[in-house]
Amino acid sequence: MRAVGEEVVFVSGSDEHGTPIEVEAARRGVDPREITDRNHAIVVDLFKKFNLSFDNYTRTHNEVHIKFCQELFMKIYNNGYIYEQEVSQLYCRNCGRFLPDRFVTGVCPSCGYPRARGDQCEACGRVLDPLDLVEPRCSICGEKPVVESSPHWFFDLPRFSERLRNWLLSNKTLPDKVRNFSLSWVREGLKPRSVTRDNLWGIPAPFPNAGGKTIYVWFEAVLGYVTATIEWAEKIGQPSLWKEFWLDSETKSAYFIGKDNIPFHTVIFPALLMASGEPYILPYTVSATEYLTFEGRKFSKSQGVGIWLDQAIAMLPADVWRYYLVKIRPETSDSNFSYDGLQAVVNADLNDSLGNFVHRVLTFIVNHFDGKIPQPALLMAEDTAMLDAVEKTFTEVNNLLSKVHERQALETVMQLARDGNVYLNRREPWKLVKTNKQEAATVLYVAAQTVKALALLLHPFIPDTSKRLLEILSQSDVKISWTDRKLWTLAAGTLIKKPTPIFEKLSDEKLETIKTSQASSPS
Ligand SMILES: [Zn+2]
Ligand SMILES: [Zn+2]
């Protein structure tokens, strides 16, 4: 979107509240903040190494977020969409506290798994309430809890059923799967949802007499998209700029999530924004991926199935991982990460198609034209066809990315590199250079335009490679633009730098090294 000249703000953040962190902190006897500080720093560092171009990657335990959430929930409360109700809950007398979600473990009422958590049974996947557990135990001290009554604050979600349904039906840019899944949720009947928890770690609930309660993590984490934008606007010294992104009906917001998070983005989040009574924009699209498996198995931290990002980046350049992960992005159906697949893709796409094409063109220019982009003579049909393909690729990739079809967009860019190779093989400049140097010059001029186009088009996918190509072409200062044709051209006479291969094949030996070190030492 930046490449086509849109005003973009790209935000996300570490979701730091919630029971798992609090339980871990209680067990280790440390402040939850200690754990989240460490985790956030690790994540920020990794995202930087993988070149994610966030305008703001923040965290939910920060003042801007906490203040905004408290104010928004008070608006919703004052608008009459939040009410108080007594509920029965498990209480640990030994620890002197109520036990939400994972603070309780016990026997699953469904499958009999003995270590089911209060929020969900890991064995059968059933979503649970702590009171459902047979033989419940406090996760901290192991004591048997008692049932006690406590007030909680509920968001009256059913009152938004009709508005949500209308919005889901009228939003044509939501993927069908996402729309249908969300509509089925609404159709089954929405229930009031408790927005408070008896967690100590979290955002203090702002409602009257709600001392000691915090806001349920899922209800505040989604608001982080708004607060990350507010924080960004403050950081760049234009504190009201965030409103253009959230309160202007022309703005389009796109969300990239896993499919298990769909209802939070298409039901809970929009309903909260509606309930605020302010004209917040609702999601334009929600790109929810299906599941990715690792060598045919489910990723698992405890069983060491997967590869740690810090290890991955130590083995191969960020661009290789980025390329392969977009290539296998589970956009429309589940997909699988495999080392053999990684090797095949690196060798066929990055090394053979892209790397070879670029290298052939650039070394030829260095060897036969003193490193200067040659002046073209008369264009033949095949030359014009190649330049047309370049132009068409810009339009097509832009269209595909606007629809969040990332896999296809990447494939379209790679097809241009393949077309480039075919073009060279047909035109055979290595023969022409001996018989008709002018015609060889034309071919290399056209091929060089294609290399520059590839450098520009690859920018969002593999930014380091894009940057390196532009450097070799002496185009480091050029603006990445997919709409300004003048900027695509590589002028005749431009002196390029001596190229070195941009990718190398992934050998069997190297692949073995990567495989054996996978998941051996988690950070
Ligand atoms: Zn179960
Ligand atoms: Zn206890």
pLDDT digits (tens, 9 = 90+) for 74-122: 999 999 999 999 999 999 999 999 998 889 999 999 999 999 999 888 8
**C-alpha to C-alpha distance for 342 and 18, rounded to whole angstroms:** 35
pLDDT at 125: 79
40 Cα: distance to centroid of ligand 2 (angstroms): 29
- What are the two backbone dihedrals, phi and then psi, of residue 79, each rounded to the nearest 5 degrees? -80, 0
499 Cα: distance to centroid of ligand 1 (angstroms): 59
DSSP for 316-385, please give it. Answer: S-HHHHHHHHHHT--SSS-EEE-HHHHHHHIIIIIIIIIIHHHHHHHHHHHHHSTTBPPPP-SPPHHHHH
Q: What is the mean pLDDT of residues 35-56?
A: 97
- What are the two backbone dihedrals, phi and then psi, of residue 83, each rounded to the nearest 5 degrees? -130, 160
199 Cα: distance to centroid of ligand 1 (angstroms): 24
pLDDT at 121: 86
pLDDT digits (tens, 9 = 90+) for 133-152: 999 999 999 999 999 999 99
pLDDT at 520: 56
Domains of the chain, start order? 74-181+188-217 (2.170.220.10), 338-487 (1.10.730.10)
Q: What is the mean pLDDT of residues 383-397?
A: 98
122 Cα: distance to centroid of ligand 1 (angstroms): 7
Q: Which ligand lies nearest the alpha carbon of 109?
A: 1
DSSP for 70-86, please give it. Answer: HHHHHHHHHTT-EEEEE
**C-alpha to C-alpha distance for 357 and 475, rounded to whole angstroms:** 18
More confident: 514 or 425: 425
Q: Which ligand lies nearest the alpha carbon of 91?
A: 2
